[in-house]
Amino acid sequence: MDIYKDIRKGERGAWISISAYLVLSAFKLICGYLFASSALLADGFNNVTDIVASLAVLIGLRISQKPPDSDHAYGHMRAETIAALVASFIMAMVGIQVIYGSIRSLVAGTETEPDIRSAGVALICAAAMWLVYAYNRRLAKQINNQALMAAAKDNFSDALVSIGAAIGIIGAQFGLPWLDTVAAFAVGLLICKTAWDIFRDSTHRLTDGFDESELGDLRSSISRIQGVEGIRDVKARVHGNHVLVDVVIEVDPLLTVMESHEISDRVEEQMRRIRNVMHVHVHVEPKTGT
């Protein structure tokens, strides 16, 4: 199926993210220790959590390619969402640890002025991460993969984190050594916020939540199909990167079974052209009254 071909393409972006995070996190952590920069260390730990998140996306993409079986009639595409949920917990733990360490450093008054070279390291890493973001964003648009697009947005936020770390390091050069620690605290908050966003989105999908405005678009599209006299109900839920739609339509009660079936086919065909709709269940009812 084409959806599995696109998923395999998405793995390429996940591998590029993992490779970039492995190199950049090691570079930042080593330079952070050598140059005594709390902000750069926090940024490095942030990238470590991103490795876990990218691995979760990769594992989810791999499992989601398994075909439907007797226990999973719709396939295994929600494995990607579950993996993202697990990654959110790991990211939150690291974020809390970074925040705790920076607060303890501020209270103890052990701030040290970081080497200005650590700012250059942060800016170089920001540029590298922006290139990864640009690649994954382009690939995500090409294959219409929401998970990879989310990973690309995470790449972009990491580039911003590195820029913020550089600002904190440069500010510490002007007689404000605590500014580097404050920058580390801010990075910890951003890690926790990213973890919360992933957690909220994952739980929303796993509990069959669906955006009301998108549901309205589906209803509007169905209502314009020739032969559809009315819509009694439309439901949709997210399954991995794809959408499952259930709709109850009203048709002319004088139509034959074959004619009603043709209208149902038109509804299914139209739905599959919209937003990665993978499966459509159409129930036909005769239109009663006016």
**Residues with Cβ < 8 Å from 120, sequence gap 6 or more?**
166
- In this prediction, the residues of the chain whose per-residue pLDDT falls under 50 are 1
In the three-class reduction of DSSP (H, G, I as helix; E, B as strand; rest coil), residue 139 is classed as helix
Residue 207 confidence (pLDDT): 87
Q: Measure the CA–CA gap between 8 and 25, rounded to whole angstroms.
A: 26
Domains annotated on the chain, with CATH: 2-206 (1.20.1510.10), 212-286 (3.30.70.1350)
pLDDT digits (tens, 9 = 90+) for 227-279: 999 999 999 988 877 788 999 999 999 999 999 999 999 999 888 887 678 88
Closest CA to 221 of 252, 239, 243: 243
Residue 26 confidence (pLDDT): 92
Residue 2 confidence (pLDDT): 54
Residue 30 confidence (pLDDT): 93
Measured in residues, the chain has a length of 290
Q: Measure the CA–CA gap between 90 and 57, rounded to whole angstroms.
A: 14
Helix (H) or strand (E) holding 235: strand 230-239
Residue 247 confidence (pLDDT): 92
pTM: 0.73
Residue 37 confidence (pLDDT): 82
pLDDT digits (tens, 9 = 90+) for 78-101: 877 787 787 778 778 877 877 887
Q: Measure the CA–CA gap between 231 and 270, rounded to whole angstroms.
A: 15
Q: Residue 287: what are its φ and ψ, rounded to 5°?
A: -75, 130
Q: Measure the CA–CA gap between 185 and 191, rounded to whole angstroms.
A: 10
